[in-house]
Amino acid sequence: MEATGLISSIYQAVIYIDAGRKGFAARRKAEEGRIFYEKGIAEAIRALEITAYMLYIIGMTAKEIAKIFEEHGWVLDRIKGSHHTYVKEGCRPIPIPFHGGNSDLGILGKRILKEAGITG
């Protein structure tokens, strides 16, 4: 999920929670308010889970990403300098840069996993 989709999801959760709060306050709309409130809470939790997952991926090192590649059937084909190139039948080769020891790859790690079809 891209950042704009995540922000939209959080905004939708706020709308549901607010509608639920108003429904609780109005007589004869308590059930409707409860439904909106619960839907908003569920949407907010989902958005937080996605955010946590995105932050986890962004903080991954090249070694961790290589391990995930191997778990998904990718094979180390060659090493040229600091780039390890992984291959898989039916997919184009994908290089993983191993720069600076244990430093994380940042947003590049997310792009590499997305390109390999491991994450959306």
> With 90 as the cut, is the pLDDT of residue 38 above it?
no
Helices vs strands, H then E, count in the chain: 4, 3
Q: Where are the domains of the chain?
A: 3-58, 62-115
Distances (CA, A) of 20 to 6, 10, 12, 45, 116: 21, 15, 12, 16, 41
Q: What is the pLDDT of residue 24?
A: 67
Superfamily of domain 62-115, CATH level 4: Hypothetical protein. (3.30.920.30)
Task: Return the number of other C-beta atoms located less than 10 Å from residue 109's C-beta.
Answer: 23
41-83 residue pLDDT tens: 888 888 878 777 777 777 888 888 899 899 999 999 999 998 9
Q: What is the pLDDT of residue 3?
A: 56
Query: Higher model confidence: residue 34 or residue 73?
Result: 73
Global confidence as pTM: 0.59
How confident is the model at residue 4, as a pLDDT?
67
Taking alpha carbons only, the member of 119, 90, 91 closest to residue 107 is 119
* Contact of 37 with 30, CB cutoff 8 Å: no
